[in-house]
Structure 1
Amino acid sequence: MQIHRHSLPSAAPGTVRELVSFHFGTPGAGPKTYVQASLHADEIPGMLVAHYLREQFTRLDAQGDIRGEIILVTMANPIGLGQSAHGVIQGRFEHESGINFNRGYHNPVPFLKTALHGRLTDDAAHNIALIRAQARLAVGQWQTHTETDAMKKVLLGLAIDADIVLDLHCDNEAVLHLYTGTPLADAVAPLSALLGAHAVLLATESGEQPFDEACGRVWWELAGHFPMVPIPCACLSVTVELRGQLDVSHALARADADALLAFLGHAGQLAQTDGAVLAPACQATPLAGVEPIIAPHAGVLVFHATPGQNLQVGDVVADIVDPISSDVTTLRASVAGVLFARTMQRFVPRGGSVAKIAGAVAFRSGNLLGQ
């Protein structure tokens, strides 16, 4: 194992932060996997999963059982981890700009369309290697001006040429679910099965350039732009939502780490695999089919439906009780699907997010992820 420390530009005199990445295996000797945890710094489950992954990767590396290279960032957002208000970490948005830490990653595709013109061939392996080299160059040329953008550049630079990218997040209160690109639906199925995901949400463009999409979209967009040459989807880039923010336990983290290791073995990243992978527990559905349940007015939130529950159209999700008028508004599902996430708050403002249901039919457009 090698430890790399990436210094970030000082945001103010007398301060300095760094990202730490752990490197296992041998670069160029096989596939490359990149795993990062807690890009939203207040989403803690991924850090504990990464702790157990580091233990296992260290053991496997010492045994020579890693094929190629694995990079692990156990805590991907030192800026967000340092933001707190009255003892509560505020790790989703940068305080200075209000920008979500998982939005605004550099899109290398416009650069690549120009840089690759006339250089791609009928050899898919040649094309993959060339695209990865040029993608590294594109990220390296990203001109950043803030500490946060510099951090994003380091993270994207570590991941942009990987075969597998796993970005470990969580929701408020949730069951385990995944986000990935629509062209990756078949490739993500073994991961979904091993993790026991309750929902797999697909999009080719979800809005505002999140991290996983910045890595994955390169391949399907270039394949569409250069249809006469073979360009496979050579990066399985996935956001893994590890249930809810309070789902932090050794038992869950060990089980999730074991599932991720089993997937890497199945994908050929490790010398040994545990064998066959069962069928996924859920069918992938479009991100555009997710119904966001929104509070029509402020009030006390009382849930009837729980994360993981399959709902039909008209089923009750929650009540909102106005504590002054005593009016009660009942919120119901307007799509059939699994309720995969809901808010931790029990008093919601008007327009506040209440819950999300994974429907099978796309009906939304624009920014599909929200804030």
Structure 2
Amino acid sequence: MQAHQHPISTEHASVAYQLSSFHFGVPAAGSRSGKKVYIQAALHADEVPGMLVSQCLRRELLALEAEGKLYGEVILVPAANPIGLSQAIHGAPFGRFDLSTGINFNRAYRHVADELKTTLAGKLGQDAQTNVALIRNHAREAIDAWQPRTDAETLKKTLLAMAIDADIVLDLHCDNEAALHIYTGTPLAERIAPLSALLGARAVLLELAAGEEPFDEACSRLWWDLDAHFGGSYPIPMACLSTTVELRGEVEVSYALAERDAQALLRFLAIEGVLELDGANEALPAPLCVPTPLAGVEPILAPHAGVLVYLREMGDVLAAGDALADLIDPVSGATTTLRCTVAGVFFARSAHRHVLRGMNVGKVAGAIAYRGGSLLSQ
């Protein structure tokens, strides 16, 4: 294992940030599997479960490397946002947005496909693996050319530079309160199925473009965008399996859960041929959900301020019209019952029990796409 330190701040900064990454195995080009895996946790710095999972992963990866059972390259970034980790407002951690710019740390990543449509013109051929190598070279060059203007942009460039040429990207997050769920690209649905089963995901949310350029899409979407652009004239595989894994809710931080999640991630990597793990070829657990479109998720918004009392539990399967929660005016006592309008899995909700008008208090994963535009919450 090699530990690398990446400076984030400029020379004359009043506060200096640096990012740590841990590199296991050997570079993909010289490894037995030829695969590169990139794993990061806590890009939203107040989403803690992935940081504990990373400690379990580091221990296991060190052992696998020492035993000669690591057949690819694995990069682990256990705390992906040193800027966000330093932020607090009146004693409360604040790691989702950059306080300097107001920008979400998981938005506005550089999507290089548009540049590559130009730079790759006339250079692709009929050999798929040669095309993959060429596209990755051009993608790396595009990220290298990115000129950040803020510490947050430097952080984003640093993270993306490590992940842009990976075969597998696992971005570990969590929601406010939630059942475990996964976001990934629609073309990756079949490949993500083993991971969904191993983790016990209650929702797998698919999209071609979620909007606002999140990290996972910056790594994977370029492949289907380029394939569509060149109209199938050249073989362009979906060469990056990138996913955002939402490890339940913010307070679900325990050794038992972290060990279980780490073992599920490692077994998935074993199935992908990156490492050797006892029991990797055993039958997978039965999946707990079928993939549904991200555009089918119904956000439940509070119509007025009030005390929030949930009537259903996360993971419940709801019919259209089912009651989710009561919203009670604490002064008048007037109560509004909140209902979903789509059938699906109730997979995430607010951790707050007094909410203001317009706040998102729940998410239901419906099977039919009906929303457009930006599909992600703020």
Q: Structure 1 length normalisation: TM-score? A: 0.98
Q: Of the candidates 157, 168, 171, which is equivalent to residue 172 of structure 2?
A: 168
Number of aligned residue pairs? 371
Distance 1:11 1:284 in 2: 47
Question: Structure 1, residues 313-368: CA drift from partner, whole Å, max 9, x if none?
Answer: 11110011011222110001111111000000000100001000000000000010
The Cα shift of 1:55 comes to: 0.4
1:359 equivalent to 2:359? Answer no
Amino acid of the structure 1 residue aligned with 2:117: K
Aligned to 1:230: 235
Matched-pair contact (CA < 8 Å) for 2:267–2:277: no
**d(CA) in 1 for partners of 2:284 and 2:167?**
20
Structure 2 residue 15 is the aligned partner of structure 1 residue 3: no
Question: 1:326–1:172: structure 2 CA closer, same or farther, 3 Å change rule?
Answer: same
CA deviations over 1:22-62 (Å, ceiling 9, x no partner)? 00001022100000000000000000000100001111111
Q: Root-mean-square deviation (CA), in Å?
A: 1.1
User: For residue 242 of structure 2, what is the amino acid of its counterpart?
Assistant: S
Please point out which of 66, 79, 84 is paired with 1:80: 84
- DSSP 3-state at the match of 2:162: helix
Between the aligned partners of 1:165 and 1:363, the Cα distance in structure 2 is 28
Given candidates 67, 70, 74, the residue that maps to 1:66 is 70
Q: Decide whether the 8 Å contact of 2:9 with 2:15 is kept in 1.
A: no
Unpaired runs of 5+ in structure 2?
A: none
Query: Which residue does 1:258 correspond to in 2?
Result: 263
1:150 and 1:367 mapped to 2: Cα distance?
A: 24
Contact 1:11 1:147 (8 Å CA) reproduced: no
Question: Which amino acid is 2:206 matched to?
Answer: L
2:183 partner letter: Y
1:321 paired residue number: 328
Q: Which residue of 1 aligns with 2:354?
A: 347
Partner of 1:214: 218
Aligned 8 A contact 1:189 1:279 in 2: no
Match of 2:338 among 331, 336, 358: 331
In the alignment, the residues of structure 2 paired with residue 88 and residue 238 of structure 1 have an alpha-carbon distance, to the nearest angstrom, of: 28
Matched, 1:114 2:121: no
C-alpha distance in structure 2 between counterparts of 1:162 and 1:67, whole Å? 14
Write the distance in 2 (CA, Å) between the matches of 1:147 and 1:332: 42
CA contact (8 A) 1:38 1:75 kept: yes
Deviations 1:149-172 (A, max 9, x none): 000000000000000000000001
Are 1:89 and 2:93 an aligned pair? yes
Counterpart position of 2:162? 158
1:292 aligns with 2:296: no
CA pair 13-142 structure 1, distance change in 2 beyond 3 A: closer
1:48 is aligned to 52
How far residue 87 of structure 1 moved from its aligned partner, in angstroms, is 1.9
CA–CA distance in 2 between the matches of 1:370 and 1:86? 24
2:246 to 241, 246, 249: 241
Is 1:181 aligned with 2:185?
yes
Q: Give the CA deviation at 1:11.
A: 8.8
The amino acid of 1:112's aligned partner reads L
What letter matches 1:127 in structure 2? N
Once the two structures are superposed, residues 40-96 of structure 1 have per-residue CA deviations (whole angstroms, 9 ceiling, x without a partner) of: 000000000001000011111111211120000000000001000122110001111
Aligned mates of 2:223, 2:285 — CA distance in 1 = 27
Task: Name the SS of the counterpart of 1:57 in structure 2.
Answer: helix
Q: Which residue of 2 aligns with 1:267?
A: 272
1:192 aligns with 2:196: yes
TM-score (norm 2): 0.96
2:323 pairs with 1:304: no
Q: SS of the residue aligned with 1:67?
A: coil
Matched, 1:35 2:42: no
Aligned residues of 1:106 and 1:139 also touching (Cα < 8 A)? yes
1:279 Cα shift?
4.1
The alpha-carbon distance between structure 1 residues 350 and 188, as it changes in their structure 2 partners (threshold 3 A), is same
**In 2, Cα distance between equivalents of 1:145 and 1:245:** 31
Report the CA distance shift for 1:152/1:13 in structure 2 as closer, same or farther (over 3 A).
closer
Q: Secondary structure at the match of 2:333?
A: coil
**In structure 2, what is the equivalent of residue 124 of structure 1?**
128
Question: What residue number does 2:152 align with?
Answer: 148
**Offset, 1:110:** 1.1
3-state DSSP of counterpart to 1:5: strand
For 1:185, give the aligned amino acid. Answer: A
